[in-house]
A and B are shown apart, each in its own frame.
Chain A
């Protein structure tokens, strides 16, 4: 236990890296996911098809492989084509990979949310003379958000844990820090257990946040049965 307290500072630094990765990826992932969903629902084939293929591709490849491709492949590709010493930091590469994967899955969640809105509402909105932007922000987005939230909460939980994959390119996240401390002390299980507790705490904290968001999104509706 002595060894655990001496390495606690390192574990907390690792925890901060994990949270940074997760929040940054969530931010870009949600934004991109919404964009992908919009493309998939578009009437233009040239917009719809490529995004459909791209998200299928992303969902079909192991996340670990995508991280390797983004970190090593992408900078190689850019350097070979532009003859520059372009550098992608492990953090940027990791966030990029996690974000596009999150976005690929989120796009389907959002698409489901938009499709679930009864067509009659949209016709009614048009009949009232709402513009396209008004229609999107007042009618479609709030409802799609409400419908998507439970799935997004689910995805957030898995994203938080997927961040540990990024350690392969040298980012010292929570799990990597535990591995390093375990290798030095030769007591890996002490650290694995400590890290499991920290991950669990993160999720225990984020669950009430999602419950609150759902409550907010459900204003005006009957309380969802849970």
Chain B
């Protein structure tokens, strides 16, 4: 007999919101999931409790994002509800009302980066990050592990926590050489102040349950055991499923359920997954049952045929090798800093970021202070094809005195006209202050 857990469920299918009528992120995405959850009668179980999503606030968004021109302009009500739903799920867990919680909400968020000029990969704001920072503000600092099991690289979450040594971001996804957004390789390993707290595990197309669960047992769980998070979050994308129309993986509902049982997240948040009839109803029922400690062994897709979706021996070998490499890198994470920094006081990266959903191109230069005492203050210069230009200074949460002073001095010394920017922002994450000049 498994141990029953009290599981909170925030179910918000947003039946009146779509990116466009035939877009994968459309009204009925969770329709058959709702049917399946209702038909299984999951809400009648004493240990499964449904909650209405709260509304996230603009302050919640500004705590972690820098939106251009401002938060209101890049979101709709639906984003405040899906982020609010994630917050509600987390609050119920932290208040001790439930043991764990699943925010089955849409629209998703894991492609949304720190700076937001528009929508990327169907995402406008990063609902997990908004949730995590809300929780840290309200309940005190927490070491957090985000395990992103969406088929697409969780590049937004990675970007947001790139310099944060207290947030472990592990993304398993289909190899970026074969799928949007094209990133997420093992050498993307975190910024100089947070080496190793970003982990990428790209899997080859046609990886099945065996491969996913191998990576979980051999890489993810050992790393988590060492990192010792206070809070574990599963960015539960469901597009690894063998029926998903826009990816090439072979994960099944049983595999998803098993993964959640073993990972045992405090909070799961729905991300992508567009096989709305063939996968989502079964995967979500599997995840809910697994989180609640109920028997999920009979959850099965109508067309499930394990032998037809078994991964090749070659894939098995490849994953073993790669897992070994990733683990090796993790173990040596503390040894790279000197080599990477080479005595510099600042590290800089220049990137071109494409917002595929809104067709916006952004050029971004990000500078971080090399710091051994905190995540380091960050300065971002961003220009988008919309014409919007931004300069932002970010003081990290739990910043050291030096990063605070230097960050503030830097912000005060910026001349908007001279920099040629329209928006000058100070995001003081330590004091929870957001200033726009």
Partners in one complex: no
User: Which residues of chain A have a CB within 8 Å of any CB of chain B?
Assistant: none
